[in-house]
Amino acid sequence: MLCAPLILGLGGCIQVRAPDKPIEINLNVKVQQEVVVRLQQDAKDLIQNNPELFPQ
């Protein structure tokens, strides 16, 4: 019972407000799919044009 007035007195100390500046989110995303597709196509062309390099 003695703690109840103390807890109620601290309740007004918490403030929630929006920030002054907008929130900035930096997304560092690497797109590697295009590079892989190009390498696959280049390798396919190399194998087709030079079958002696990759015997089966």
Q: Pick left, alpha or beta for residue 25 (phi over 0 → left; psi -120 to 50 → alpha; otherwise beta).
A: beta
DSSP annotation of 52 reads G
Encoded amino acid at 36, one letter: V
Which pLDDT does position 35 carry in this prediction?
A: 66
DSSP annotation of 6 reads H
* Number of residues that make up the chain: 56
- Alpha-carbon distances of 33 from 29, 43, 46, rounded to whole Å: 12, 15, 20
pLDDT tens digits for range 18-49 = 888 998 888 888 866 666 677 788 888 988 89
pTM for the complete prediction? 0.34
